[in-house]
Amino acid sequence: MEISVQDLEVNSNASLTVSLAQTPYCRKHRYDPQNPLCAHIIFVGSIVKVNDSEAGLAKKALFSRHPEMESWPKDHNWFFAKFNITNIWVLDYFGGLKIVTPEEYYSVKP
């Protein structure tokens, strides 16, 4: 029923941008959100429905963070999906994007 899901059914390509402007960091350093020093990362890929073997983990992850969703109406045809990331771009300095592969991204130790 949600409009973005209707769009994804036609074209599953998606992107997600996360910026330091969403934190106090840029304001603290007096960086305009458009300044590359106010870094942001762009994930590009496709949204894919999870298979049956992944559904249990997906439910646990979602409901542990958003418990009220477990009681949302079942007749809305909710489903679980994942973001299959194919490209990662980082803009954190002047001179253009840095490309990070998904393998590099997932191999980093926190």
Global pTM reads 0.81
Residue 14 located in a structural domain: yes
In the chain, % of residues over pLDDT 90? 86
- Report the distance separating Cα 45 and Cα 89, nearest Å: 12
CATH number at residue 89: 2.30.110.10
If pLDDT is split at 50, 70 and 90, which confidence band does 23 have? very high
- Report the distance separating Cα 12 and Cα 84, nearest Å: 10
Residue 68 located in a structural domain: no
Residue 92 located in a structural domain: yes
Number of domains in the chain: 1
Domain that holds residue 23: 3-53+80-105
83, 50 contact by CB (below 8 A): no
The predicted-structure confidence for 53-92, as pLDDT tens digits, reads as follows 999 999 999 999 999 999 999 888 888 999 999 999 999 9
